[in-house]
């Protein structure tokens, strides 16, 4: 699992960290890019409760299950892939220019993470 998370960080241009977390805010495992010092667990935890709210909204609006969330802010971009009812993987990019590539890498590695849960 750590290997997969590290692969995500290594293959996504501008990536700073990836983390696998439960929607209850409990971290499973994380990987950081070289020379990056970041409390990715606190960041993902802070958002996890908001993600639950987004899922509830989508369901109540009959949009179906949320599979991906992207949030671009001034200093960082967060890409989220929902793995199943309980877990998600989050990728943090310092440079948002390769957002599409980041999303692609997440999607490609997601089945690998799911199989290890």
What gap in Å lies between CA 21 and CA 52, rounded to an integer? Answer: 13
User: Cα dist. 100→54, 59, 61, 97, 104 in Å?
Assistant: 22, 26, 27, 8, 6
Nearer to a copy of itself among residue 60 and residue 115 (C-beta)? 60
Judged by beta carbon, residue 10 or residue 65, the one nearer a copy of itself is 65
CA distance 88 to 99: 18
Query: CA-CA distance, 73 to 82, in Å (whole number)?
Result: 20
Contact in structure between 5 and 16 (CB atoms under 8 Å): no
Q: How far is the CB of 3 from a copy of itself (least distance, A)?
A: 26
Nearer to a copy of itself, 28 or 76 (CB): 76
Rounded least distance, CB 77 to a copy of itself, Å: 8
Binding residues for a copy of itself (CB under 8 A): 42-43, 46-47, 50, 53-54, 57-58, 60-76, 78, 100
Measured from the CB of residue 78, what is the shortest distance to a copy of itself in angstroms? 8
Our CB check for a copy of itself shows the closer of 53 and 85 to be 53
């Amino acid at each position: 699992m750590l290997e997969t998370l590290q692969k995500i960080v290594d293959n996504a241009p501008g990536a700073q960290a990836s983390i696998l977390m439960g929607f209850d805010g409990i971290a499973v495992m994380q990987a950081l890019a070289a020379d990056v010092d970041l409390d990715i667990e606190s960041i993902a935890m802070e958002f996890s409760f908001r993600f639950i709210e987004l899922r509830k909204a989508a369901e109540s609006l009959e949009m179906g299950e949320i599979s991906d969330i992207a949030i671009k802010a001034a200093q960082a971009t967060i890409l989220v892939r929902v793995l199943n009812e309980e877990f998600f993987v989050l990728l943090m990019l310092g440079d948002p220019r390769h957002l599409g590539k980041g999303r692609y890498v997440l999607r490609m590695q997601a089945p690998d993470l799911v199989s290890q849960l």
